[in-house]
Structure 1
């Protein structure tokens, strides 16, 4: 059977001697560190604690530019919804980029999404009030909405900012003016047709009233003639009855036995 007991203690002199040697070595190390610090030879960066960190490969502007370029490439390939997604990601990084809103408006027009196109173009004009292409795109969105006068106003502002652009003058401003003139011409023609129809309706009503009055007069005349005929016929009947009542002298009248 194993018996348990206290372990034999180490001699106190040995413990004391070991402690003194350890304190002496530690003091020498501390003295050396103080000398290095006083001389300015310490590297504080090496003494700083290490932290887990990731280095950004690109900043927000660079990423937004990359997303904008990718969206433009997708739009050229007619992949408009994917392009819109890229531009929305870019706007999350650079929300005040008017070119992104202008490109979104063009993509929405290609997709026949007129109301989002107007909103995006209006935002582009709000962010860049001196950019003529934003007004041009806004005018085209107004044309898609059927607002010809608003489109003409936007094209006029764009041409006022950049009067040297031939495409803006011919394909946008002049064409919108022709649409406005055509609309006015059709409106005048419609008013003329309405006036003519009103005149014809009045003529028909007058003719119907005249025919009604003539028919009323004829009916009155026929009634009078019939009344005259009836009156003359009744007179002749009375005369015949009177003639029948005047019996000849040799006529024997039979007694009514019924």
Structure 2
């Protein structure tokens, strides 16, 4: 049956939905008998996908466990003196846990062993940013600064370490080394030799010439 305007209705409105429904043979009023089944299947499929998808907490836990495994492997390699191999393991762990201060501090130590003072300085700095109340991180930063030729900054870092851990023999000894290097620099400056060498590396002779 074709829908038409109701000419007898002075309001000129279309038929209501109830009026149309009184004609059971209208093609658009019939629903596909499989419609409900398809809708149910779609809902079940969506629910199944939701159940199969791992939660964010589960993924974080898996990443953490994997990172800890790489960290442990790196620790063993470092203990055996295999610093480059250890660094590779720790780099992998840091890709999974980039905000891990312990890994960054360990990385800085190994980089110092490998002679890369600048990279050690960056790693140690980040470790102190993440854990500003960790004395060992400040000690490693101070040593990185010393090896990079910045004894003034190193003294500040060792001072931060001693403020946190006053009985740290390492920080006390390293601060003395930094103070001696600054004294040596002043002596060279007064003798007119500072233009040839402005930075002093750990391992330089600390005896006055």
TM-score range, shorter chain: 0.5 to 0.7
User: Counterparts in 2 of 1:146-225, with a 5 A limit?
Assistant: 146-170=149-173, 172-190=174-192
Deviation per residue, 1:148-205 (Å, 9 max, x gap): 11111111111111111112212x11111111112212222338xxxxxxxxxxxxxx
1-side partners of 2:104 and 2:91: how far apart?
A: 9
TM-score under structure 2 length normalisation:
0.61
2-side partners of 1:52 and 1:159: how far apart?
A: 52
Match of 1:59 in 2: 62
Give unmatched runs, 5+ long, in structure 1: 1-47, 192-258
2-side partners of 1:53 and 1:176: how far apart?
A: 55
> Cα distance, 1:52 vs. partner?
8.9
Tell me whether 1:80 sits opposite 2:83 in the alignment: yes
2-side partners of 1:136 and 1:52: how far apart?
A: 47
Question: Are the structure 2 counterparts of residues 70 and 182 from structure 1 closer, same or farther at C-alpha, using a change threshold of 3 Å?
Answer: same
Match of 2:138 in 1: 135
2-side partners of 1:52 and 1:157: how far apart?
A: 50
Structure (1 or 2) with the larger CA radius of gyration: 1
2-side partners of 1:95 and 1:115: how far apart?
A: 19
Structure 2 counterpart of 1:70, from 57, 69, 73? 73
Match of 1:214 in 2: none
2-side partners of 1:180 and 1:165: how far apart?
A: 21
2-side partners of 1:72 and 1:62: how far apart?
A: 15
Structure 2 counterpart of 1:125, from 128, 141, 144? 128
Q: Aligned residues, how many? A: 141
Question: Are the structure 2 counterparts of residues 189 and 100 from structure 1 closer, same or farther at C-alpha, using a change threshold of 3 Å?
Answer: same
Match of 1:95 in 2: 98
> Cα distance, 1:144 vs. partner?
1.0
TM-score under structure 1 length normalisation:
0.50
> Cα distance, 1:53 vs. partner?
9.8
Question: Are the structure 2 counterparts of residues 148 and 53 from structure 1 closer, same or farther at C-alpha, using a change threshold of 3 Å?
Answer: closer
Give unmatched runs, 5+ long, in structure 2: 1-47, 194-209
2-side partners of 1:169 and 1:102: how far apart?
A: 19
